Structure 1
Amino acid sequence: MTIHILTHWPIDDAETLSFDTSINETQLLLSQGHDISLIIQAYVPKLRALLHENDSARAHYWSAFDTIQQIKLTQPQPLSLSDFSWPPYAQFTYLRDRILIDVNDEHYATAWLTSPNLSELDYIDLFVNQELNQQIMIDDRGFISRINHYNSYQVKRTDFLTPSGQIAMQITYDNNQLQDIHTAQEWENQQHFSDLDTLLNIVTRQYLAHLSSEDTVIVTQSNHNDQLIPYLSQHNIIYTLHTVPDQLPDNVQQFITHDTNVYNTLDKSTNKRLTYIPLYATQFHLSQQAKFKTIYWLNEDLSFEEQELVLVQLMALAYQHLDLTVIIESPLPAKMITDMILHVNQQVSDDDSQRQDYLNRFLVLPKQRRTQRQHFMRSAYLLLDLGQTPNEFLQVTALDDHIPQIVRQTTPYLSPDKNGKVIDNLQDVSAAVTFYLDNMDNWQFATAQSDRISDIYNTTKLGQQWQTLLNTRHNEEHDAK
């Protein structure tokens, strides 16, 4: 029996809550020895690398875009600059995350490298008269997968290509609004579509029709996936809830959620079978005392005034603790954050002689992938996450690395005053951070509590909860027959 996971990933941004859900479900079920197949309706040209870096390479997958683009290739085969033809006398300048290509003293192209290792080509921007003309997306199986065509920096046309370079699907735009989708193949006697969801629904339905009725399908909550449930009437369906819906889908008897708020709300209001299993499993790491005092601050969901209030406190602490470094991850433009840091620094101190030294101890990062966050957290001393809803992946990473947490809301991964602190007022950030900076006993107590809580949510125990759920459903299906 195969367990299929019907995912719902945004087309061009895989790492979201729905991505985390399906990836973590995959990891836990693989740990129990199950045969897992992901049903992917998003365009993910680096899928093989994505699965590998998230310990899910053993999972099978079916891709709607692979079907549309007639892709049969399965093995990674990265391309390099030498695989492309360049004009004579092209000059290449190698930077950390990109390669600049100039021709006759004019900028001709920028080749961007993949994150997080920056070791392979991701995509190439081509310029004409210093203006973006095309963006070439490279599939990790060794071919050009998509080309965006621009006019005045607006996408006018997108070509999705077969491995041989033929156009399999073409999308045209007018003023950034989708006008038409044309496919080389017919799908239910159609080649023109007004929206991508309709096409993906048709392509996915055709795939679902060939699944064995003995298989289980885990459906990730989304309006798009809800439309596919009627085509799974012969299958055992487990529906994963992220939020409380207006109405639960029909023809589904087993629901699961990884959110305690969703569980507590629905458990009292529905007669459907609902199970809670935490989403993120902890991994055992050897405990090591952090060599440097580094705070990892996830700066999301705060107003400008709230960010400045937190920065004032952290900057003051940096003046008191000369070994303190602050890493700030923010979805906002880096210049906006660095300007705020400079402004706050001038408020905190009028000493120009050492100003740059203090500014250098505040490192600003753009939104990070899961593996990048894990990399930075390994050397961190403290996690600071002051959004209204803490990032549970970072909380589990903190448990893995025995790091105290400071958040604004209790979650299953934090016990107040044990492995961290819950603060109600942002003015209390300084006191909470100082509690761990100035007293090693407090820090060591929190790391010991992290070990204890980590054991509750380890991969084996959460995997066993999944196995119990699957066994119950299997026995019920067997008895019904």
Structure 2
Amino acid sequence: MFYFVPSWYQGNRKWYMEAPLWFRVIENLTFDDAVNQLKTFQAAGEETMMLLLGYQPHLRYFLHRQDILSTPYWSFFDEIQNIQSKNTKVLQVTDLTWPQGARFVYTPFALLVKIGDERIAEVHFAENGNLLKVEYFKENEVTYHYMFDDRGFLSSILYFSDGQPSHQDYLNERGVWQVREHLAEASKLITVNPRADQEFFQLVYESWDDLILEKLFFFKRLRMTEHDYLVMAVHEQHNRLLLDAFEQQKKVLSFSGDRYSLQEGSDLKRLAQEGDVLVVDSEKNKLALEYSLSQLGTSAHHVSKVTPFDTRLRLGRSQTIKELIIYWQIDGASREDYLQTLQVLLQLMEENPLIELDIVSYERARNMKALESELIALLQEKYTLERFMEVSEEAGENQLEEDQEMTLSSIRFHTFTNENQIIRQLDTTRLVLDLGQVPHLYTQIASISAGIPQINRQASEYVTHGENGWIVTEIKDLTEAVAYYFDGLTNWNRSLVSTVQKMGDYTSGRIIDQWKELLENKG
């Protein structure tokens, strides 16, 4: 079996990942190598399981978004809390016990619970609408937080003293505390309830790391053999723990993006010595890793470069529709470049009535409404309105013609905050445009995965000029690049064939066979 250890860590507390409040969700558009590798192994029929070390009471929603909800997993916190539930149930605010006379006051951001004019609690929800936490107050000072699991039970209680967190109790499904994390003391001790459901070797631990290591050893003894493999996302937080716990197992170590500093990583030499296959996502990272290892006077057994693909994408179906849709990702481009590119695209659209334009940003702070208003003013001043605009459907039938409200018909503005939005949009996209100084990595990966050619200003190893994309040195060259893919389907199909050939390494299992051969032949 292949055991995957992702690096899903965030926040100020080392092993603590609380889901954000629904109105504070700012999602990062990132490529998760662990998720991609996991799906690749599953597609090849390999037996897989995830090992999850962090506290994630809303884990199921995250797994659902990544399309891996059905993947078996072992959770350290489920283990110490004795959580057996696999199914979810909806927990309502009315299921909680409230004092007599309590009333609910709905606000845009939270549900307030009051007795008279005194606030006694604030109820907060996660992005998916599930109950996230309840903050309790006494005389307007916070006393404790109830933290809920998305499976429908109270998961932990965070206690406060003088307005500061003092300790947090992690509960079983019956609400009995199992492990207590002390937050006020500098030592941050972990104590165990003497009547805890599970077996612990100690009642007091110096840190979470000590307890995690104990439970990893216990898991390995019960569930694993020397013939199992560990695929771990290299991360400073868990490297030492995993190397200590799984000395006998063959290991694939995945270096992705800038998650691990090759210059500052404290355990790089040990990783190279104990890892059987080291995986990188680019030739740049491969060269950087090999250089860093040479500086340490060591080398890896084998460094494997695996071009990343997002297996959630399917090959686009844009060739089945008549519209020629351009997905223009504008982040990273200067104001001057944006305006110059816009003028080129508008000229192309006037010449070809089939071209449509999606203007996309991943930055929540960007005022897309202002850009839309600016574009409409430009169109009214310099372009043929009938090509780009139409009468708004909301306009009344008896509205005077000169007062009719006009809206954009072939240009759309989008702010995307997660990968699934991009995936949906790319399904009918014919061409991706990203003229930033550094192409957006996930956009590149998603475009390749969907077989869509892309036009970039900066060369990268993901795009081969004239094959699966086009590199323009000047924005004025954009006209030629668009024509290359829009004048017939020959060049567009060449890009699609290139992608199919590269993705064949995933779907056929060739990469897995290569890794297994390296793992089995080592030593």
Map 1:270-285; keep pairs closer than 5 Å: 270=299, 272-280=301-309, 284-285=314-315
Q: Which moved more, 1:265-274 or 1:40-49?
A: 265-274
C-alpha displacement of 1:471: 3.8
Map 1:84-123; keep pairs closer than 5 Å: 84-85=96-97, 88-90=102-104, 100=111, 109=122, 111-114=124-127, 118=128, 120-121=129-130, 123=132
TM-score, length-normalised on structure 2?
Answer: 0.69
SS in 1 for 2:204: strand
Task: Show the counterpart of 1:458.
Answer: 503
Counterpart amino acid of residue 221 in structure 1: V
Task: Show the counterpart of 2:149.
Answer: 139
Identical aligned pairs, as a percentage? 18
For 1:71 and 1:336, locate their aligned partners in 2 and report how far apart those are by CA, in whole Å: 43
Indicate how the Cα distance of structure 1 residues 415 and 439 shifts in structure 2: closer, same or farther if over 3 A, else same: closer
Map 1:355-370; keep pairs closer than 5 Å: 361-365=412-416, 367-368=417-418, 370=419
Indicate how the Cα distance of structure 1 residues 88 and 189 shifts in structure 2: closer, same or farther if over 3 A, else same: closer
For 2:43 and 2:189, locate their aligned partners in 1 and report how far apart those are by CA, in whole Å: 41
Task: Show the counterpart of 1:399.
Answer: 448
Task: Show the counterpart of 2:357.
Answer: 324
Pairing partner for 1:180 from 179, 188, 192: 188
Q: Is the 8 A contact 2:93 2:131 kept in 1?
A: no
Indicate how the Cα distance of structure 1 residues 298 and 266 shifts in structure 2: closer, same or farther if over 3 A, else same: same
Provide, for residues 249-296 of structure 1, a one-character-per-residue CA deviation record: whole Å limited to 9, x for no partner. 223333222322222445685362222222325554352256584635
For 2:371 and 2:300, locate their aligned partners in 1 and report how far apart those are by CA, in whole Å: 52
For 2:458 and 2:231, locate their aligned partners in 1 and report how far apart those are by CA, in whole Å: 29
C-alpha displacement of 1:345: 6.6
Alignment RMSD, CA only? 4.6
Pairing partner for 1:288 from 307, 318, 340: 318
Provide, for residues 407-454 of structure 1, a one-character-per-residue CA deviation record: whole Å limited to 9, x for no partner. 3544454222343333457xx3x753x557678725845542331122
For 2:82 and 2:261, locate their aligned partners in 1 and report how far apart those are by CA, in whole Å: 38
C-alpha displacement of 1:42: 2.1
Indicate how the Cα distance of structure 1 residues 158 and 382 shifts in structure 2: closer, same or farther if over 3 A, else same: farther
Q: Is the 8 A contact 2:18 2:57 kept in 1?
A: no
Q: Is the 8 A contact 1:219 1:239 kept in 2?
A: yes
Indicate how the Cα distance of structure 1 residues 412 and 43 shifts in structure 2: closer, same or farther if over 3 A, else same: farther
For 1:422 and 1:135, locate their aligned partners in 2 and report how far apart those are by CA, in whole Å: 53
Q: Is the 8 A contact 2:60 2:69 kept in 1?
A: yes
Provide, for residues 144-203 of structure 1, a one-character-per-residue CA deviation record: whole Å limited to 9, x for no partner. 3245567999766554333222334444556xx97624333586535254x544543444
Q: Is the 8 A contact 1:18 1:220 kept in 2?
A: no
Q: Is the 8 A contact 1:294 1:327 kept in 2?
A: no
Q: Does 1:59 align with 2:71?
A: yes
For 2:337 and 2:136, locate their aligned partners in 1 and report how far apart those are by CA, in whole Å: 41
Q: Does 1:213 align with 2:242?
A: no
C-alpha displacement of 1:74: 1.9
TM-score, length-normalised on structure 1?
Answer: 0.74
Provide, for residues 38-62 of structure 1, a one-character-per-residue CA deviation record: whole Å limited to 9, x for no partner. 1111223333343344343443211
Counterpart amino acid of residue 215 in structure 1: D
Q: Is the 8 A contact 1:238 1:256 kept in 2?
A: yes
C-alpha displacement of 1:456: 2.0
Indicate how the Cα distance of structure 1 residues 165 and 462 shifts in structure 2: closer, same or farther if over 3 A, else same: same
C-alpha displacement of 1:363: 3.1
Structure 2: state its 5+ residue gaps: 11-16, 20-26, 195-199, 351-355, 382-402
Counterpart amino acid of residue 262 in structure 2: P
For 2:509 and 2:438, locate their aligned partners in 1 and report how far apart those are by CA, in whole Å: 27
SS in 1 for 2:33: helix
For 1:342 and 1:264, locate their aligned partners in 2 and report how far apart those are by CA, in whole Å: 43
Q: Does 1:239 align with 2:253?
A: yes
For 2:328 and 2:186, locate their aligned partners in 1 and report how far apart those are by CA, in whole Å: 40
Indicate how the Cα distance of structure 1 residues 202 and 78 shifts in structure 2: closer, same or farther if over 3 A, else same: same
Pairing partner for 1:164 from 174, 185, 197: 174
Provide, for residues 353-381 of structure 1, a one-character-per-residue CA deviation record: whole Å limited to 9, x for no partner. 999967x943334x42x333312333445
Pairing partner for 1:467 from 491, 498, 512: 512
SS in 2 for 1:275: strand
C-alpha displacement of 1:343: 10
C-alpha displacement of 1:28: 0.8
Q: Is the 8 A contact 1:6 1:218 kept in 2?
A: yes
Q: Does 1:200 align with 2:233?
A: no
Indicate how the Cα distance of structure 1 residues 113 and 57 shifts in structure 2: closer, same or farther if over 3 A, else same: closer
For 2:162 and 2:377, locate their aligned partners in 1 and report how far apart those are by CA, in whole Å: 41
Q: Is the 8 A contact 1:244 1:266 kept in 2?
A: no
SS in 1 for 2:231: strand
Q: Does 1:253 align with 2:302?
A: no
